[in-house]
Amino acid sequence: MFGSTIRLLTIGLALSAACPAEARPVAECRFSPAIGLAADLLLEEPGAEQRVDQHATTQAAYLKIRYGVLSYQAGRRLIERIRGWNRPPFGIEGLRLTFARPSDRKALLGGTHPVDAGQPGASLERALVLEDGGRQFFPEAKRRLAQPGGRRAFPVNQFQLASALSDLSDTRKVHVARQAEAAGLLDLAEHLLADLDSPNEWLAFVRRAPGAPITLEQWVKRLSGPWTGSSPFFRPMRGVWRELPGELGAAADELERDPMLANTVLRAATFRRLAEHSPHAAQHLGLMAFAAGHAAAVHSSDSRPFQEFFQALLDEVHVRRLDVTGDEDEILILIAERHGGFMDRQGTGAEMRNALAALTETPRARRALLPYLDGRTSVPPARPDMVRPEFDWESWLATAALIRARQPVPQKDNRIAIELLDVLGRHRDALALLRGMPADDDRWERARRMLVTLDRQCAGLLRLQGSYGPVYRFEPR
Q: 447 versus 259: which is more confidently predicted?
A: 447
pLDDT at 310 over 90: no
Q: What integer best gives the mean pLDDT of the chain?
A: 78
Burial of 65 (0-12, 13-18, 19+ CB in 10 A): buried
pLDDT of residue 305: 57
Which tens digits make up the pLDDT trace of 408-453? 999 999 999 999 999 999 999 999 999 999 888 889 889 998 998 8
Predicted pLDDT of residue 273: 55
Q: Specify which residues 418 forms β-bridges with.
A: none
Provide mean pLDDT across the span 7-22. Answer: 33
Q: Which of 369-373, 402-406, 473-477 has the lowest mean pLDDT?
A: 473-477
Q: Which residue has the higher pLDDT, 95 or 467?
A: 95
Cβ proximity of 444 and 438 under 8 Å: no
24: DSSP letter = -
- Of 22-26, 151-155, 193-197, the poorest mean pLDDT is in 22-26
pLDDT: which is higher, 48 or 424: 424
Calculate ∠ Cα 281-286-292, nearest 5°: 120
| pLDDT tens digits for range 220-238 | 777 766 555 555 555 443 3
pLDDT number for residue 11: 28
Is residue 147 scored above 50 in pLDDT? yes
Give dist(CA 153, CA 259) in Å, integer.
42
**Greater pLDDT, 355 or 14:** 355
Helix (H) or strand (E) holding 465: strand 465-466
| 348 band by pLDDT with thresholds 50, 70 and 90 | low
The number of C-alpha atoms within 13 Å of 384 and in the hemisphere containing its C-beta is 22
Of residues 172 and 18, the one with the higher pLDDT is 172
CB < 8 Å & 24+ apart, contacts of 260-264: 260/4, 261/224, 262/236, 263/307, 263/310, 263/311, 264/4, 264/7, 264/8, 264/11, 264/229
Threshold 0.85, pTM exceeds: no
Confidence of residue 15 (pLDDT cuts 50, 70, 90): very low
Q: How many alpha carbons lie under 13 Å from residue 275 in its C-beta half-sphere?
A: 27
